[in-house]
Amino acid sequence: MAALEEGQLAPGISLPADSGEIFHLESLRGKNVVLYFFPKANTPGCTKESCEFRDASRKFTKANTVIVGISPDPASAQAKFKQQFDLPFVLLADADHQAAEAYGVWKEKSMYGKKYMGIERTTFVIDPQGTIKKIFPKVKVEGHAEQVLAAVS
């Protein structure tokens, strides 16, 4: 699939949330959405990134913005991660990586010489009409939430 570009309509998402209920991205029309894809719940980089979004969540709310995190973890792992770090936003379980593929973030990665498929840490800012306003590819965790906040403000 071709990579998504700013200005395109964001692909629809219907996935299990940390609550166990099915979440539909379309339900957030009328608000800005920060959709951040992360590789694995409860790992150092993903925890830091999620906690930065948590710590800035009031600022995002003031900017009419909803934060949504997505990883391939099952909903039960997302729920545990959310509770452990008191994350005030929904986490989605993309176990079959359908959303990651639709957003072009399911990529071949390499660690210690081994190749495998996984999430390339990427954040999408979606405007109230459902259009991709900004893409942050290959995210560096430190200070990322503030960069994203600047894009929605």
51 counts as catalytic: no
Contact assessment for residue 121 and residue 37, using Cβ atoms and an 8 Å cutoff: yes
Catalytic residue among 10, 35, 46, 67: 46
Closest to 17 (Cα-Cα) out of 84, 85, 86, 95: 95
Which residues, including other chains, have CB under 8 Å from residue 119's CB and lie 6 or more apart? Answer: 37, 38, 39, 40, 71, 72, 97, 100, 105, 106, 107
> Could you give the residue numbers annotated as active site?
46
